[in-house]
Chain A
Amino acid sequence: MQIARSHVLICGGTGCLSNNSMKLKDRLEEKLAELGIKDEIKIIMTGCFGLCAEGPIVVVYPEGSMYSRVSLKDIDTIAEEHLLKGRIVENLLITNRGEAYDEEGHQVENTDFFKRQKRVALRNCGRIDPENIDEYIAYDGYKALGKVLSEMTPQEVIDVVSASGLRGRGGAGFPTGKKWTFAAASKGDVKYVACNADEGDPGAFMDRSVLEGDPHSVLEAMAIAGYATGAHQGYIYVRAEYPTAVRRLNIAIKQAREYGLLGKNIFDSGFDFDIEIRLGAGAFVCGEETALMNSIEGKRGEPRPRPPFPAVKGIFGKPSMLNNVETYANICPIILNGAEWFASMGTEKSKGTKVFAVGGNINNTGLVEIEMGTPLREVIYDIGGGIPDGKKFKAAQTGGPSGGCIPASLIDTPMTYDDLSAIGSMMGSGGLIVMDEDNCMVDIAKFFLGFTVDESCGKCPPCRIGTKRMLEILEKITDGRGELEDIDKLEKLAKNIKASALCGLGQTAPNPILSTLRYFRDEYIAHVVDKKCPAGVCKKLIQIKINKDLCKSCGICAKTCPVACIRGEKKVPYEIDQTKCLKCGACLEKCPFKAIYKES
């Protein structure tokens, strides 16, 4: 076999795949064959690099040059210039915004986006080929499992996990060591461990990225969890909407079985462990642990009352333990580097790092992994690159439909479990949606409520009926029919649902309302009393108008309007027929003279 002199890593995460990175690979293969250097260059499809906004990403080693937004034409240039002649294509490189190209700055690790991150759970994403177990093994893969099986007792494993201070990364932040202790203490000859990969928060995609970029890290950690708690069977519950993740998981399980890293008598220790995949149909409630267990058993995905807790009576009535994907992804480094190493990162009560899926109105949309306790400001401005078009930061939403928002005044809040709960938000699974001055907070609350109403399983009345009633009140407010007492009614209802719903979905569903009421009550009042939407979002409360002095009667707006409600003629300013206007805003974007505006 010829040894490659250069490795080209192309991002094969879902973000870049949807940006045609597979076509880039095909094109590059063709081009290399054409240039006659096919045998010298190795092409590797990796997992997500995290910088989805700049995708598709291509990295060329040994130089470590990172190219962003690579088109089919660009890949030809990279092949001809960089790979054939060794000349780095400077104008395609990712460089720190506004900075000139420098020798080191183009390397993956030296960009602002990566420099400030600390990658533990995402350690292999974008570095290895997720479909090749050898590459995982090269970066210390399965060494933790080997160490555990040949040198440690189950209790020692649990002690290390407990001492590390790792807390569940799925949202609630329950100490992982405690969970493992309960499962290990539970009596029973058959036990199960499971992995919750039913990532459902709108805007969250870190679990998907771990499964796509480093599936073996989850398999290995599950085997370790099985050894620690006395289970021999693992289930990964993953949603069918993640086809790439499912495919790579299947490949990984097959490879691990071939190497004897799953199956009978692993590492000659007498320990047997195997993993099966269960596909979910995409119901949000199945991310709740008891609903998930029902779904694994083939039943309807509805939550069960607790107690009995899963550690006592879980999957098929047997003691079971469920951890989130990201939690598992942290296990192997903890075993290899020790509990002290992990505990040295983060804050007193929130150890280690956390992955956030940063989206919304921010420049560097993507995945970032930061040390716990990093202030939100750093995530948004230093790593995230700030808000596009110079707009003002208004709030960030964490925890998706179960979470709350962090207003601009609290932008220096350290990102930890406790600091976020204290201000009425939550860590959640790590979705971080950034909002600017053009977002209406009542509308945001309505959006999340709409989501929970759709996703409520209907088993308990507080959630089934209560969320629907809350949504109706919100709609009344955004339609301009709200009264002041509606706000009080909303708040009371929210508190009651929080106290009485059966599972986490219902108990947290009112959070978006409670937290927007807490920080943006004046916006609710503006909707109710003044019948105005300050951000100009709620359609019933705004009018789109043409400024007669600025209008040059060019007619572009009239051509753009989908309902043909704009009329005018040469030299006479155009006018919008308010009775027909849909308030879509299409004309507003197209007007070359900025003569069209929203009035609320």
Chain B
Amino acid sequence: MKSLAELAELRQKSLDKMNMRNTDTRERIVVGMATCGIAAGARPVMNTFVEEVNKRHLGDVSVGMTGCMGMCALEPMVDVYDADGTKTTYIHMTPEKAKRVVAEHIVNGQPVEEFTITAKDQNNA
């Protein structure tokens, strides 16, 4: 170890791997991981979220799981809870869609309307 800068770099690298243990988070991504979700392909979606969040050093964003949300036909489903408690529900998720949600919603604060459950309702109406 030669300098504080070198230490800081190492610190950041290790911290990125440990941010998960911080329960005081800004945003929470929750993936439906019941049998229906898993069968519909929730696992790769989940892994994509985890990878994206890490890649972008989003230390204050947590990725969690939940059980069946009751609308198995719409799985894989993902809920994003903003800091103010607003919940956005995304449906029929894929790893590609997950990347866009991270980029647009999590990073830039713009929910991806077209993937949400409300978009579907409007289309049906």
Contact = CB atoms under 8 A, between A and B. Distances in A.
Contact of B4 (A107, A134, A146): A146
A134 B11 CA distance: 7
B83 to A, nearest CB: 16
B1 A266 contact: yes
Contacts, number: 105
Counting chain A CB atoms within 10 Å of each CB, which of B1, B4, B23, B62 scores highest? B1
A137 B10 contact: yes
B58 interface: no
Contacts of B31: 86
Contact of A267 (B2, B35, B65): B2
Contacts of B41: none
A7 B23 contact: no
B67 interface: yes
B20 A7 contact: yes
A63 interface: yes
B63 A260 contact: no
Given A3-B50, A146-B4, A62 B62 contact: yes
Contacts of B120: none
Given A5-B50, A62-B20, A135-B14, A87 B67 contact: yes
Contacts of B110: none
Contact of B65 (A7, A85, A147, A260): A85
A128 B1 CA distance: 21
Given A5-B63, A85-B34, A137-B14, A267 B3 contact: yes
Interface in A1-46: 2-7, 9, 40
A134 B10 contact: yes
Contact of B21 (A84, A127, A150): A127
Nearest to A127: B21
Contacts of A3: 17, 50-51, 54
Interface residues of B, number: 36
Contacts of B20: 4-7, 61-62
Contacts of A518: none
Contact of A86 (B8, B10, B64): B64
A150 B47 contact: no
A219 to B, nearest CB: 13
A109 interface: yes
B65 A86 contact: yes
A142 B2 CA distance: 12
Nearest to B11: A137
A62 B23 contact: yes
A135 B18 contact: yes
A115 to B, nearest CB: 13
A183 B62 CA distance: 48
A38 B11 CA distance: 26
A476 interface: no
B23 A138 contact: no
A268 B8 CA distance: 15
A261 interface: yes
B78 to A, nearest CB: 12
B118 interface: no
B80 interface: no
A64 interface: yes
24 contacts: A4-B17, A4-B20, A5-B46, A5-B50, A7-B18, A61-B20, A62-B21, A62-B25, A62-B63, A62-B64, A85-B38, A85-B67, A86-B32, A86-B65, A138-B11, A138-B15, A139-B18, A140-B11, A142-B7, A146-B3, A146-B4, A150-B3, A259-B1, A267-B1
Interface of A: 2-7, 9, 40, 61-64, 84-87, 107-109, 127-128, 134-135, 137-143, 146-147, 150, 259-261, 266-268
Given A7-B18, A143-B7, A266-B1, 16 more contacts: A4-B20, A5-B50, A5-B63, A62-B20, A63-B23, A64-B23, A86-B64, A107-B23, A137-B11, A138-B18, A142-B7, A143-B8, A143-B11, A146-B7, A150-B3, A150-B4
Interface of B: 1-4, 7-8, 10-11, 13-15, 17-18, 20-21, 23, 25, 30-35, 38, 46-47, 49-51, 54, 62-67
The 9 closest A-B pairs by CB, nearest first: A86-B65, A138-B14, A64-B23, A134-B14, A62-B62, A86-B33, A138-B15, A5-B50, A260-B1
